Amino acid sequence: MNVSPTHLSLPLASPDETARFGRDLARHLMPGDVVLLHGEIGTGKSHLARAIITYRLAEVGMLEDVPSPTFTLVQSYQAGEVEIWHADLYRLSAPDEIIELGLTDAFEAAICLIEWPEQLGADRPEGALDLTLTVVPGQDEARLMTLEWGPHTPPHLAAYLDVLAQ
């Protein structure tokens, strides 16, 4: 494990471990939290987002299929009082589409899980948690997850990450 004040790397041996981490993170996310999911195609970004969404829906007694938003760009879910937005910006053609999608408003009011956040450009939220998944060479199912956060990360989320880093 590699730790610095705003950086943490965690090995994930399998998709099950990735989903377990997603469920753990889900318990700490609140409206206004933005998780930027970085990684190449096939690294598990959607798998992790689905685990977060499925957990939050199950908390309020809902069982729902959670498809990838690859073609719709955004899927939203109502988990009790909490709205969750899952966006896949891979097919975004222009940065101004972020405003058209309503993402900038969602950043303030919902839990937002954003795949391909590079497309956000100047609309990247200041307090977002950056989460990067990479394939571990020679281990098809293993991933290295790197989390990065900064001084504008919401205090409740920074506290969780600080505990996780210990």
pTM of the model: 0.93
Structure tokens at 49: 């987002």
What is the pLDDT at residue 3? 45
Calculate ∠ Cα 58-125-145, nearest 5°. Answer: 60
The answer on pLDDT for 86 being more than 70 is yes
What is the pLDDT at residue 111? 98
The answer on pLDDT for 122 being more than 90 is no
Q: Tell me which residue of 132, 157, 146 sits closest to 43, measured CA to CA.
A: 132
CATH superfamily for 2-160 is: P-loop containing nucleotide triphosphate hydrolases (3.40.50.300)
Average pLDDT of span 90-107? 86
C-beta separation of 45 from 115 below 8 A: yes
Structure tokens at 16: 């099950």
Structure tokens at 46: 């959607």
Instruction: Detail the DSSP E strand segments found in 73-153.
Output: 74-79, 82-88, 111-115, 129-136, 139-148
The residue ranges of every structural domain in the chain are: 2-160
Question: pLDDT band at 4, cuts 50/70/90?
Answer: very low
- Name 148's Cβ contacts closer than 8 Å, sequence gap at least 6: 6, 7, 8, 129, 130, 131, 132
Q: Which tens digit of pLDDT belongs to each residue from 140-162?
A: 899 999 999 988 999 999 999 98
